[in-house]
């Protein structure tokens, strides 16, 4: 599978969107968006319209300066709820799903000072989802155990490092109990807390990473069935990869350059090869997101950048158009928009469709090109190209999606080679043989549209991508 995304399609939300979650919020089998708007003190919910887009955003008020949003079924009713960190209120908002993609009045739960990130998981093994909140100004994590009715017990605070900025809840040591990992922005490390089996956690193990770690993603990068860490280092313009040693610890980090001020990372198999790749958002007027493909050795290749609106604050991944390929969703901090980049598939065939034109014109359009492609709303450019079967290319022109002969017909058979290129730069070529007798055409000097393409002899797929970045 080749690496390409269509040009970004932008959707307006609120002011200064900082975080976005992709989930099926109304239960229709399509992935929707929920966005935290820091300057508006609300969230925007955009329901998937089933046609590569989203409906008008519906806003729900939350607390002051909502900086993070996540979603799970909190109350066990099989509907996905929302949880938001309100940095300036020192609380989190829980919004229960009403079953139609809407949400009730928020329940606010007090945590520590300046909550910046939330992780959700069953910490104490009672089959109910609990909350862990990173509190940047208290240097701790608040653990709120689920009471089984959509509410939570008073928080228990666990001391971590300085300025905790991101948190993940996963089973690090393979004992079927959920542990947690937190990035400490001013300590330049991550802390790993292993679950003690009763909903509590042991003494942390700290692992050095780059400068000012602000985001974390967890997944099996090297294929050894153990969970590894990827940490975005905001001030050193790279990501640190820490491979799991199988005992709840990690080896020495390896850094990979990604661009200025990375502040959001996600692991997903982007190219369909069964290995987890890396997607990075950068909040420093970079106006792009970077994708780094897994090198199969526990690391990543060079970065490929894809343009978005402005200052990509947060990135996540989901199959938005149900084509079984990963799409990107980016919250643009300065633009009041989210950018959606649909995965771009390579065209698979070049065809034609005959049309009727009864006008007495010199140029009669009697066919148009068509391209077979999994991307249903893509646009294509058709060109004559050099290669096998291009013998008579000079006798023809292509205008938009029509083929026309530009001089008198002098022989029975013509061979040409045509390329169709989609909006993302992926292309498909085909050799075409044109039989004039079968068209019933007489010799003429006027430009005439020709059709009757036969004898497909070769298919070529090409990819165009702009690659930059290197391993640090």
Token pair belonging to 229: 């860490």
Residue position matching structure tokens 């646009």? 379
Q: Which residues contact 284 (CB under 8 A, 6 or more apart)?
A: 260, 261, 311
Token pair belonging to 310: 């402005």
Q: Where residue 468 falls among pLDDT bands split at 50, 70, 90?
A: very low
Q: Where residue 2 falls among pLDDT bands split at 50, 70, 90?
A: low
In tens, the pLDDT along 426-444 reads 899 998 877 766 554 544 5
Look at residue 460 and tell me whether its pLDDT is greater than 80: no
The rounded distance, in Å, linking the Cα atoms of 200 and 145 is 11
Q: How many CB atoms lie within 10 A of CB 452?
A: 17
Backbone Cα Rg of the chain: 27
In tens, the pLDDT along 124-161 reads 999 999 999 999 999 999 999 999 876 899 999 999 99
The rounded distance, in Å, linking the Cα atoms of 269 and 221 is 10
The rounded distance, in Å, linking the Cα atoms of 288 and 269 is 19
Output the DSSP codes for 279-331: EEEE-SS--EEEEEEE-SSSSEEEEEEEE-SSSEEEEEEE-TTSSSS-EEEEE
106-139 burial by CB neighbour count: b if 16+ within 10 A, else e? bbbbebbebbbbbbbbbbbeeebbbbbbbbbebb
What percent of the residues of the chain are helix, what percent strand, and what percent coil, each to the nearest 5?
0, 50, 50
Q: Where residue 423 falls among pLDDT bands split at 50, 70, 90?
A: confident
The rounded distance, in Å, linking the Cα atoms of 212 and 263 is 10
Look at residue 86 and tell me whether its pLDDT is greater than 90: yes
pTM of the model: 0.84
The rounded distance, in Å, linking the Cα atoms of 323 and 329 is 16
Look at residue 459 and tell me whether its pLDDT is greater than 50: no
Token pair belonging to 160: 């971590």
Q: What is the mean pLDDT of residues 449-468?
A: 41
Residue position matching structure tokens 């609106």? 309
Asked if 453 and 408 touch (Cβ cutoff 8 Å), the reply is no
Q: Which residues contact 132 (CB under 8 A, 6 or more apart)?
A: 118, 119, 120, 121, 123, 141, 142, 143, 144, 167, 169, 180
Asked if 227 and 220 touch (Cβ cutoff 8 Å), the reply is yes
Residue position matching structure tokens 């005992």? 247
Asked if 50 and 30 touch (Cβ cutoff 8 Å), the reply is yes
What is the greatest pairwise CA distance in the chain?
89
Q: Which residues contact 127 (CB under 8 A, 6 or more apart)?
A: none
Q: If we measure between CA atoms, which residue out of 169, 87, 95 comes closest to residue 135?
A: 87
Average pLDDT over all residues of the chain: 88
Q: Where residue 462 falls among pLDDT bands split at 50, 70, 90?
A: very low
Domains of the chain with CATH codes: 9-341 (2.130.10.10), 345-471 (2.60.40)
In tens, the pLDDT along 28-84 reads 999 999 999 999 999 999 999 998 899 999 999 999 999 999 999 999 999 999 999
Token pair belonging to 139: 């240097």
For residue 355, what pLDDT is reported? 52
116-to-77, 229, 262, 328 alpha-carbon distances in Å: 27, 19, 16, 23
Strand, coil or helix: 394: helix
- Taking the C-alpha atoms of 318, 192, 180 and 32 in order, what is their torsion angle to the nearest 10 degrees? -20
The rounded distance, in Å, linking the Cα atoms of 109 and 150 is 12
The rounded distance, in Å, linking the Cα atoms of 160 and 183 is 9
Token pair belonging to 274: 């069964």
The rounded distance, in Å, linking the Cα atoms of 369 and 141 is 59
How far is Cα of residue 277 from the mean position of the Cα atoms in its chain?
11
How far is Cα of residue 74 from the mean position of the Cα atoms in its chain?
25
In tens, the pLDDT along 341-351 reads 999 888 889 87
Burial class (CB in 10 A: 0-12, 13-18, 19+), 94: buried
In tens, the pLDDT along 358-400 reads 444 444 444 678 888 877 778 899 999 999 999 989 988 888 8
The rounded distance, in Å, linking the Cα atoms of 121 and 193 is 14
């Amino acid at each position: 599978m080749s690496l390409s995304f269509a040009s970004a399609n932008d959707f307006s939300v609120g002011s200064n969107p900082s975080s976005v979650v992709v989930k099926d919020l109304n239960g229709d089998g399509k992935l929707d968006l929920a966005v935290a708007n820091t300057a508006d003190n609300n969230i925007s919910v955009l329901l998937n319209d089933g046609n590569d887009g989203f409906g008008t955003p519906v806003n729900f008020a939350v607390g002051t300066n909502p900086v993070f949003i996540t979603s799970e079924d909190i109350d066990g009713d099989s509907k996905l709820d929302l949880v938001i960190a309100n940095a300036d209120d020192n609380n989190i908002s829980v919004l229960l799903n009403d079953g139609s993609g809407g949400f009730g009045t928020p329940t606010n739960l007090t945590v520590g000072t300046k909550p910046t990130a939330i992780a959700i998981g069953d910490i104490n093994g009672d089959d109910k989802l609990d909350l862990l909140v990173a509190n940047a100004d208290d240097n701790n994590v608040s653990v709120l155990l689920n009471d089984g009715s959509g509410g939570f017990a008073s928080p228990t605070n666990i001391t971590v490092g300085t300025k905790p900025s991101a948190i993940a809840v996963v089973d690090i040591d393979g004992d079927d109990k959920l542990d947690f990992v937190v990035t400490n922005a001013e300590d330049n490390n991550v802390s790993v807390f292993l679950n003690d089996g009763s909903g509590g956690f042991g003494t942390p193990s700290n692992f050095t990473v780059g400068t000012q770690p602000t985001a974390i993603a967890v997944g099996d990068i090297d294929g050894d069935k153990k969970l590894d860490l990827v940490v975005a280092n905001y001030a050193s313009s790279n990501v640190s990869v820490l491979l799991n040693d199988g005992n709840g610890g990690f080896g020495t980090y390896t850094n990979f350059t990604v661009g200025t001020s990375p502040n959001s990372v996600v692991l997903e198999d982007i190219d369909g090869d069964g290995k987890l790749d890396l997607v990075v958002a950068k909040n420093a007027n970079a106006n792009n997101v970077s994708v780094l493909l897994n090198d199969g050795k526990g690391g990543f290749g060079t970065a490929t950048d894809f343009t978005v609106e402005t200052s990509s604050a947060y990135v996540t991944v989901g199959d938005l158009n149900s084509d079984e390929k990963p799409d990107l969703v980016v919250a643009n901090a300065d633009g009041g928009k989210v950018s959606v980049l649909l995965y771009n598939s390579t065209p698979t065939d070049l065809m034609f469709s005959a049309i009727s034109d009864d006008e007495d014109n010199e140029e009669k359009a009697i066919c148009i090109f068509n391209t077979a492609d999994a991307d249903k709303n893509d646009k294509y450019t058709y060109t004559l190209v050099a290669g096998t079967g291009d013998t008579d290319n000079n006798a023809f022109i292509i205008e938009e999606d029509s083929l026309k002969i530009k001089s008198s017909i002098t022989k029975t058979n013509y061979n040409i080679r045509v390329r169709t290129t989609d909006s993302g730069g992926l292309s498909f070529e085909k050799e075409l043989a044109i039989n004039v007798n079968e068209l019933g055409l007489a010799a003429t000097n006027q430009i005439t549209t020709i059709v009757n393409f036969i004898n497909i002899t070769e298919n070529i797929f090409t990819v165009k991508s702009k690659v930059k970045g290197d391993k640090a």
